[in-house]
């Protein structure tokens, strides 16, 4: 049974009943209850849809209560905060432009682009997924069209800008090699010769990005979500950018800085800053330096609040030896232990288990490498509320 069966009566009636009574973990009981009144196949589809809507709230907020989803479509959809950031940039640069979304999935990016004032068309090869995207535009009262077709065979001449989100899964598994994308990387690079925005995985190698294309690494609430490649009229002429949502802080320059001994504070740059290769921007902001030129930790003599990094006050340097660290945990009465690491081969969860924290105190342990030596620092996380941009 497909999503389209739920768009009109009697499917819509079953879906409304399923959503009204849905509670996480009670799917089987709900199916049994609704089957007393409705067709069994419709009930299964409706309860599945109700469960997907519940999960989708994390990505789509209140819109999820009205939208339609497929399991794969929800998994692969962009979080609304990130999609809105992209759509806003598109609409600001090219207000009212016509945009085609190649491989639009369930329409998450179409929704934010249409709301930003762009005239949108989606292309999706799977008819059921295309119908889902079309239904989502309709139920949210947004203009736009969704066509069934392949990205590679779509005529792009009617559109001002192309958006693409190549599939990064094969046989149900995530694909990390950009050369395994679908459509293929050669198709993506051809798109980037015109005005386009292409969403790629944040692990994209810098040397794979074509010249004159701006790469923007985006994080949301501290989690790196994607890299967006901007070309043509959408490129600002900058090669690398890191943008941190929801505040919107952005950085583009990586000045030369020195490395040196640990100061009073250690700064852990946001993942988007690290992926973009802009770690030294944090050092410039806090008047600091790198602990090691190859490791993404910044240190400084003073505390400077910045949205670009998490901050830790250094309390003590510790020997990186299990016996010494276990004694430190015991002596300090540490029960809640946060372990951060970079440049060293360790599993924080396993190390935490070996150190057996037990007590009421909280602490952060930063383990990293300076030169060839592993070092550990007892730290206190500094929490500061920064104004939203």
Tell me how crowded residue 108 is: count the other CB atoms within 10 A of its CB: 28
Closest CA to 331 of 311, 349, 358, 304: 358
| pLDDT given at position 179 | 81
> For residue 95, what are the contacts with CB-CB under 8 A and spacing of at least 6?
117
Closest CA to 110 of 58, 63, 65: 63
Tell me how crowded residue 233 is: count the other CB atoms within 10 A of its CB: 14
Omega prior to 10 cis, within 30 of 0: yes
Distance CA 362, CA 352 (A): 13
> Would residue 358 be called left, alpha or beta, if left means φ above 0 and alpha means ψ between -120 and 50 degrees?
beta
Residue with tokens 């199916």: 31
Q: Are strands 169-170 and 196-200 parallel, antiparallel or unpaired?
A: unpaired
| pLDDT given at position 389 | 45
Q: Are strands 98-102 and 119-124 parallel, antiparallel or unpaired?
A: parallel
Q: What SS3 state is found at 265? A: strand
| pLDDT given at position 233 | 97
Closest CA to 309 of 335, 285, 338: 285
Tokens of 133: 């995207």
Mean pLDDT by 10 residues, the chain (389 residues): 84 94 92 92 94 96 95 91 97 97 96 98 95 96 97 96 85 70 92 97 95 97 96 96 96 95 98 98 97 97 97 96 95 96 95 94 96 95 66
* pTM of structure: 0.92
Please provide the DSSP assignment of 202-255 as one string.
TT--GGGSPTT-EEEEEEETTEEEEEEEEEGGG--S-SEEEEEETTTEEE----
pLDDT digits (tens, 9 = 90+) for 304-350: 999 999 999 999 999 999 999 999 999 999 999 999 999 999 999 99
Largest CA distance in the chain: 72
Segment 353-356 long-range contacts (CB within 8 Å, at least 24 positions apart): 354/322, 354/326, 355/322, 355/325, 355/326, 355/329, 356/326, 356/329
Query: Residue 45 to residues 3, 6, 263, 389: CA-CA distances in angstroms?
Result: 7, 8, 58, 42
Asked if residues 219 and 271 have their Cβ atoms less than 8 Å apart, the reply is yes
């Amino acid at each position: 049974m497909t999503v389209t069966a739920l768009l009109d009566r009697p499917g819509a009636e079953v879906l409304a009943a399923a959503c009204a009574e849905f509670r996480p973990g009670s799917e089987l009981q709900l199916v049994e209850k609704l089957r007393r009144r409705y067709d069994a196949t419709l009930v299964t589809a409706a309860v599945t849809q109700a469960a997907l809507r519940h999960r989708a709230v994390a990505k789509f907020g209140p819109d999820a209560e009205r939208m339609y989803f497929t399991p794969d479509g929800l998994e692969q959809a962009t979080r609304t905060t990130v999609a809105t950031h992209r759509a806003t940039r598109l609409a600001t640069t090219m207000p009212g432009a016509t945009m085609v979304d190649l491989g639009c999935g369930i329409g998450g990016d179409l929704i934010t682009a249409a709301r930003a004032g762009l005239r949108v068309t989606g292309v999706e090869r799977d008819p059921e997924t295309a119908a889902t995207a079309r239904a989502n535009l309709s139920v949210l009262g947004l203009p736009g069209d969704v066509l069934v077709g392949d990205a590679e065979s779509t005529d792009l001449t009617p559109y001002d800008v192309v958006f693409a989100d190549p599939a990064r899964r094969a046989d149900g598994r995530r694909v990390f090699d950009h050369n395994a994308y679908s459509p293929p990387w050669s198709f993506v690079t051809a798109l980037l010769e015109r005005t386009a925005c292409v969403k790629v995985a944040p692990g994209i190698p810098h040397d794979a990005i074509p010249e004159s294309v701006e790469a923007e690494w985006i994080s949301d609430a501290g989690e790196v979500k994607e890299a967006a490649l901007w070309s043509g009229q959408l490129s600002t002429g900058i090669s690398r950018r890191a943008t941190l949502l929801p505040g919107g802080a952005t950085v583009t320059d990586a000045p030369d800085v020195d490395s040196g001994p640990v100061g009073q504070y250690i700064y852990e740059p946001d993942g988007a800053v690290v992926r973009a290769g802009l770690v030294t921007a944090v050092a410039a902001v806090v008047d600091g330096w790198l602990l090691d030129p190859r490791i993404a930790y910044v240190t400084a003599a003073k505390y400077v609040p910045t949205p670009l990094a998490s901050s830790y006050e250094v309390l003590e340097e510790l020997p990186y030896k299990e016996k010494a660290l276990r004694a430190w945990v015991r002596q300090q009465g540490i029960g809640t232990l946060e372990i951060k690491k970079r440049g060293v081969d360790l599993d924080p969860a396993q190390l935490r288990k070996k150190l057996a924290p037990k007590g009421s105190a909280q602490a952060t342990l930063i383990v990293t490498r300076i030169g060839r030596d592993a070092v550990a620092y007892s730290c206190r996380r500094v929490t500061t509320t920064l104004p939203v941009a």
